[in-house]
Structure 1
Amino acid sequence: MEIAIALVALTVGVCVVAAACDRFGWPTPLVLVVVGAVVALVPAVPEVTLGPELVLNGLLPPLLYAATAQTSLVDFTRNKTATLLLSVVLVVFTTLTVGWATAWLLPGVALAACVALGAVVAPPDAVAATAIGRRVGLPRRVATMLEEESLLNDASALIALAAATSALTTELSPWHIGGEFLLAVAGALAVGAVVAAVLVVVRRRIHDPVLDTALSFVAPYLAFLPAEAVHASGVLAVVTTGLAMAHFSPKVQTAASRVAETLNWRTVAFLLENAVFLLIGLQFPLLLRGAADSGFSGGRVLAFCLTVLVATIAARFVFVFGAAGVFRAIPRLRPKAWSFGVSFLLSWAGMRGVVTLAAAQLIPEGTPGRDVLLLAAFTVVVGTLLVQGLTLPAVVRRLGLPGPDPAEDALACAALGDAAAQAGTRRLDELLTGDEPRHVVMQLRGRSKARSHAAWERLGRPLSDVMTPSAVYSRLRQEMLTAERGVVVEARDRGTAAPDVLRKALSDIDFEEALLGRLEDLDPLDAERRLAPRHGGTCDHLRTAGTRDDATDRWGEPPVECAECVAAGVAWVHLRTCLACGYTGCCDSSELRHSRAHFTESAHPAMVSAEPGEAWRWCWVDEQLG
């Protein structure tokens, strides 16, 4: 019963705090740590010991697997140099730096134990950095590097920690440590690849979304446990399997399985990621009492913990800026060199997390100064979360690095969706035999075009008197579905239909309404989030067509209405201007599509958005965005 109560309290606490943070814009990881520390001081609350087995063997595999689902294998491979530098070389550098500082401050502690502490505090936790950074628009390049770094740095740190703890009891040569490292890496890659290959074969034959999702829940452990059994890195095996499964998922899983798995894993990741920060705070009184009984004075313990915190932060700064300098000094690597702003942000976004606290428990019992080392690890976790986490938004704003632009993302999504819709239409043309009902073919073409048009409509300006076709469809269909659900619920209340029939009918309505919910993002973007002018193009037509500014200089400001739509007595949605002659007509989402008709008649290849604040261009011939 006590375990059940604890789990319920933990889940409710996470949900309440996360909801409050979302409501008031607070950084969730920081608040959870503080709440955990405060709750732990309440006398009625029992002590919570965060065992390494629970975190490293229980929580870490699914957390890493969930993170790999959001990682592109293509990007991961493209960024391999930066990822290996941050997740392997930086971990070793931090381990040695903090180990040296610890040995200098606590000369009575074994050197291997000092190095073990360095390995414990070496790996940052990208969950904290990205959770805070998302609220302030952390640049996508930095967020990607942090996330990819976090996939491997835990493995590097745990391997270094295993070597250091082994050195406490046995004599190890550098060759032996290097051999163990290579074995751990090679074994993990092999196990992860084999598990991924088996899962690909199995999941290709599973068409039940529930069964497929259930299999995904055990996938991280299928990779982790065998790897650990052969003394390889279970963490690296999980990452290998997760990256492979995320890459092959669109080819081996059904659409229903992917949707179900995504939704379920979002829930699992939310609970685990936030629960670990609450658990970190709950450790505070226990670690404080242990350090008080260590025999060291309070002032010396405080000075030591703060020095370890400073050394951990400084080591990352020295390494990142040093690596950036080396990149700039080598001509072949110069294009990949990080700017000052990126280097500073990468250095500052090095918050530590639950892996650091759990790994500290692996330092053997009886090691001189162990309690002080554990408190130092806790200080690094809490100190980086509070100092760096609280100031990260201000640092991002001060550096002036641009975060992800929702308008630019929408523009890229619209272009990609347009290409996908055209591919679908071409495939439809290949399949048609001429015997299909005409209205069915028209409906198929219409659905493909509607999805493409909806994406383009998201780029438009808000009009008080005209709603986009997608917005009109969504609003009216929502009302229709509400009425339909009312009839089904009434039948349920009267008992006039079987439960299975009712569930099926409600499921169909809910599924369609869930799809309509995606159209909420199709509302026009605010002016301050629009695209800035983007000069240059991706094809010859766009490179020679000029920009919106050029069109304005030649023909003046574009009209605010489609003259031909006005003459025909119909409404238009958005306006596009021809860069060759200045003609302005309505977009493809409009009923008469005058801009496309103008291209068909004139063969002028390039147009630009005529909406205020927009400067994106489109080549009709090459179907390229610029």
Structure 2
Amino acid sequence: MHGTFTLFGLVVGAVLVAGAARKLKLSAPILLVLVGLAAAFVPGLPDYSLTRLDPEVFLFLVLPPLLYSEAVDSSYMGFRRNMRAIGLLSVGLVLMTTIVVGVVMHMAVGLSIAAAFMLGALVAPPDAVAAMSIGRTLGLPRQMLTVLGGESLLNDATALTAYRVALAAVLGGGVSLLEGATGFLIAAAGGVIVGLIAGPILHWVRMRLADPVLENVLALLIPFVVYALAESLHLGSYAASGVLAVVVVGLYLGHRNSQTTYAARLIAGGVWKMVKFFLESIVFALIGLQLPSVLAGQTGKSATVLIISGVGIVLLVIVIRFVWVFPASYLPRILVRRIREDNPNYSWRNPTIVSWSGMRGVVSLAAAFAIPTNVPGRGTILFLVFCVVLGTLVVQGLTLPSLIRRIGISTNDTFSDNLAEANAQHAAIRAAVDRLDTVLESEDIEPPDGVADRLRAWADSRQLGAWERLGSGPGRDAKETPSAAFRRLRREMLTAERDVFVSMRDSGSIDDEVLRRVFHELDLEEAMLARE
């Protein structure tokens, strides 16, 4: 029972802090880490060490749903268009970081070469949650957000596979470079194959459920089932990558979400927003709370040595990212003319922001806590991983907004989106009106008076609303458009209607069941009025 209350306290505290951050328009991940760090010094606070919480179980409960929700929300087409950049970051940069950090830490702090490579693999994968949260708020170009999101989806698979290979070498497995590369390729290929097989099967199942609640229950189970299935599939002595399997399934099902029912999509939107908010709040709060258990393993070491080694590895991973990103951004443009022609106005601002967006997350920390206790240098590795996670989140996370504003990176995505939407709405509305005319001509019975005219007026209103938004972008006249005025005034009317229904329920004129039914209709209408 005490453990239950301990976990409940963590959940409540993390959610309260994250909710306060949203209200105050602050970066929730950064604030959660800082509050967790401060709370770690509070006397009598329960032990929230990931060792006590079982890091393997923790990763299984947190990593698959977060990866799946991000993959479902990602653009498959954007992912494919930016595959070169995503691959260079999620595979090339991760492996380079693993090697460079391994070599430097082997020489600097005396870790064995295998243990040093294990450390490099643990600190290699950035977590883009904080960076993308800041980037969306400040209007970073969508292509950059797609690259950062794609990197975050795939780099965990690269890093965890490299970590397992290095761990096997530390424990006496005698893994050679060739065997390590073979294991990486087998794990990656296995994960992709599992995802490609599971995706169509799961889509076939969800299309035949015909119940939006059941479909969303299935969606909540999918990441865990796919992850466990892939990890249990061994190809020789190597397991398939559960991370890659979940990402592939998420991209496949997300690309085909339009084939599901509107009710399932309405429910899924709210469910996954809540799941992500809940899990990310806990994850970032736990990072700061790990400080006591990390310091407990550093007995006998001077504060000077700890500070120098911690600051040194943070600077090292930041520099490695810059050294990789700029050549990876410009060399393909120099060598391939088509890349230059596709984006002739490529700016140094883009790789600068991408380079400074390498904040590490809880995956690195949880994997570090999962290192067996008999591994030599475990305490040093755990401390250095914690320094990288905390240092990059706090230093880069707090300065990224200022950097974005200072270098003046901007985007015209809003105007482009409005123009594309207006053109698409025009074509869709014309098709809808043509379908209406065709149906009316084929029916023997005329619809009640005014029905067809109301449908045409509604269609015209939607089409005009899309064109109106073209004139409401940054730097344009801020005068309220007719569609915006309609939505605002209609919301006021809906509020008045709800007040009447509630009053009638309270007076006993209608039952709660009737109230829920009419509220559902009003909610659907308000959902149609809402725009992000």
| TM-score between the two structures when normalised by the length of structure 2 | 0.91
1:491 alignment partner in structure 2: 504
Q: Does 1:421 align with 2:429?
A: yes
| Distance in 2, Cα, partners of 1:324 & 1:489 | 59
Query: What's the counterpart of residue 241 of structure 1?
Result: 249
Choose the corresponding residue for 1:171, options 166, 171, 174.
174
Distance 1:139 1:470 in 2: 27
Partners of 1:111 and 1:471 lie apart in 2 by 63
TM-superposed CA distance for 1:11, in Å, is: 3.3
Task: Rate the CA distance shift 1:297–1:396 in 2: closer, same or farther, 3 A.
Answer: same
The residue aligned with 1:69 is: 72
- Secondary structure at the residue paired with 2:391? helix
Summarize deviations over 1:512-547 as a string: whole Å, max 9, x none.
2333343xx6xxxxxxxxxxxxxxxxxxxxxxxxxx
State the match for 1:447 in structure 2. 458
Q: How far 1:347 moved relative to its partner?
A: 0.8
Q: Aligned residue for 2:516?
A: 503
| Secondary structure, counterpart of 1:433 in structure 2 | helix
- Percent identity reads 44
Q: Matched residues in 1 for 2:507 and 2:23: separation? A: 40
> What's the offset of the Cα at 1:443?
2.4
Partner amino acid for 2:452? V
Q: Summarize the Cα distance change of 1:467–1:237 in structure 2 as closer, same or farther, 3 Å threshold.
A: closer
What are structure 2's unaligned runs of at least 5 residues? 234-238
Aligned with residue 188 of structure 2, among 168, 185, 188: 185
Query: Is residue 98–residue 118 contact of structure 2 (8 Å, CA) maintained in 1?
Result: yes
Partner of 1:25: 25
Cα offset for 1:276?
0.7
Over 3 Å counting, the alpha-carbon distance change for 1:208 and 1:510 in structure 2 is: same
Tell me how far 1:103 sits from its aligned partner: 0.3
| CA distance 1:307–1:412, change in 2 (3 Å) | same
Residue pair 1:55, 1:355 contacting (<8 A) in 2 also? no
Contact 1:189–1:236, Cα closer than 8 Å, also in 2? yes
**Amino acid in the other structure paired with 2:486:** Y
Correspondences of 1:257-336 after superposition (within 5 Å) = 257-291=264-298, 293=299, 295-332=300-337, 334-335=339-340
Q: Which residue of 2 aligns with 1:391?
A: 399
State how far apart, in whole Å, the 2-side matches of 1:152 and 1:460 are.
Answer: 39
Answer whether contact 2:141 2:413 (CA < 8 A) is retained. Answer: no
Question: In the alignment, which residue of structure 2 is the partner of 1:473?
Answer: 486
CA distance in structure 2 between the aligned counterparts of 1:494 and 1:198, rounded to whole angstroms: 51
Per mean C-alpha deviation after superposition, the further-off stretch among 153-162 and 385-394 is 385-394
What does 1:391-410 align with in structure 2 at a 5 Å threshold?
Answer: 391-403=399-411, 405-410=413-418
Q: After superposition, what is the alpha-carbon deviation per residue over 1:246-292, rounded to whole angstroms, capped at 9, x for unaligned?
A: 011112x101101110111011111112221111010011101212x
Deviation at 1:122, TM superposition (A): 0.3
In structure 2, do the counterparts of structure 1 residues 323 and 202 end up closer, same or farther at CA, with 3 Å as the change threshold?
same
Given residue 516 of structure 1, which amino acid in structure 2 is its aligned partner?
A: L
Contact 1:32 1:274 in 2 (8 A): yes
Per-residue deviation at 1:349? 0.8
Counterpart residue number, 1:161 = 163
Flag the structure with larger Rg: 1
Structure-2 change in CA distance of 1:229 and 1:396 (3 Å): same
Q: Is the deviation greater in 473-482 or in 507-516? A: 473-482
Q: Per residue, is there more helix in 1 or in 2?
A: 2
Does the CA-based 8 Å contact 2:78-2:143 persist in structure 1?
Answer: no
Distance 1:305 1:483 in 2: 59
In structure 2, what is the equivalent of residue 375 of structure 1? Answer: 383
What's the counterpart of residue 121 of structure 2?
Answer: 119
- Tell me the distance in 1 between the aligned counterparts of 2:55 and 2:516: 44
* 8 Å contact from structure 1 (residues 192, 241) kept in 2: yes
Residue correspondences, number: 514
SS across alignment from 2:190: helix
The alignment partner of 1:125 has SS state of coil
- Which consecutive residues of structure 1, in runs of 5 or more, have no partner in the other structure? 522-626
Per-residue deviation, 1:192: 1.1
**Equivalence for 1:12:** 12
CA distance in 2, matches of 1:249, 1:441: 31
TM-fit CA distance, 1:485: 2.4
Please name the residue that 1:558 is paired with. Answer: none
Q: Aligned letter for 1:16?
A: L
Secondary structure at the counterpart of residue 29 of structure 2: helix
Q: Distance in 2 between matches of 1:371 and 1:463?
A: 60
Could you say what the CA RMSD is over the residues aligned between the two structures, in angstroms?
2.2
Cα offset for 1:460?
Answer: 4.1
- C-alpha deviation, 1:407, in angstroms: 4.1
Alpha carbons of structure 1 residues 413 and 2: separation in structure 2 relative to 1, 3 Å: farther
Number of the residue aligned with 1:203? 206
TM-score, normalized by length of structure 1? 0.78
Distance 1:467 1:102, change over 3 A: closer
- Counterpart CA distance in 2 for 1:506 and 1:191 is 43
Mapped contact 1:40–1:47 kept (Cα < 8 A): no
**Equivalent-residue separation in structure 2 for 1:398 and 1:509 (angstroms):** 45
Deviation at 1:186, TM superposition (A): 1.6
The 1:72/1:463 distance shift into structure 2, 3 A limit, reads: closer
